[in-house]
């Protein structure tokens, strides 16, 4: 085991949003759509910030940019559908970069009686109810109670987002990480 290096680190300034985005992009994540039925039909965003929060009670969270025109519509909805995008759903993620009114055009989706919207073909879907929305910088953190979910045994692999690009998990030689 070696000790501290004598090399001096050159820290980047935290007030450079472009550099921060590049830094944050080094952490791979899944892509999840967050969607509900609004007054004019389905609305949704794609996030890379989905995470589990608690098993008891079952809670998850997502972060959504406060400047999102979709966020106020989601906040008014009583149920949100989350869809974990599959490795072949890069085009679906790209659709969510379009203006809000165009995101669901020609997209296969389903809704439940409570207004949660799920993307067909996702590796997992979660139906949630918002518990709390917390302001955090330029984003809101939504804490969501899980009411039900699907995760078919035949589900494929999730789409991975890393360094602003879509990736697939490497299944060619699974390796166990040393503990």
87, 125 Cβ separation under 8 angstroms: no
Task: Say whether pTM exceeds 0.95.
Answer: no
Average per-residue pLDDT for the chain = 86
* Percent of the chain's residues with pLDDT above 70: 77
pLDDT tens-place string over residues 34-92? 999 999 999 999 998 899 999 999 999 999 999 999 999 999 999 999 999 999 999 99
* SS3 assignment, position 170: coil
Question: How many whole angstroms separate alpha carbon 91 and alpha carbon 105?
Answer: 13
- Going by C-beta distance under 8 Å and a sequence separation of 6 or more, which residues neighbour residue 90? 159, 166
How many residues are present in the chain? 179
Strand partners for 150: 125
């Amino acid at each position: 085991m070696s000790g501290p290096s004598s090399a001096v680190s050159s820290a980047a300034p935290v007030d450079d949003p472009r550099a921060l985005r590049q830094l944050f992009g080094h952490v791979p994540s899944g892509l999840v759509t967050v969607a509900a039925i609004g007054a004019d039909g389905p609305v949704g965003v794609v996030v890379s910030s989905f995470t589990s929060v608690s098993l008891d009670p079952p809670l998850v969270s997502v972060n959504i940019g406060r400047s999102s025109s979709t966020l106020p519509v989601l906040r008014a909805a009583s149920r949100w559908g989350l869809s974990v995008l599959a490795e072949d759903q890069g085009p679906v993620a790209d659709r969510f970069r379009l203006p809000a009114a165009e995101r669901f055009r020609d997209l296969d989706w389903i809704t439940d009686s409570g207004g949660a919207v799920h993307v067909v073909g996702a590796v997992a879907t979660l139906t949630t109810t918002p518990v709390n929305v917390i302001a955090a910088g330029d984003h809101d953190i939504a804490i969501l109670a899980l009411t039900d979910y699907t995760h078919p045994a035949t589900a494929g692999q999730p789409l991975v987002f890393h360094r602003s690009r879509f990736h697939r998990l490497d299944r060619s030689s699974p390796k166990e990480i040393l503990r």
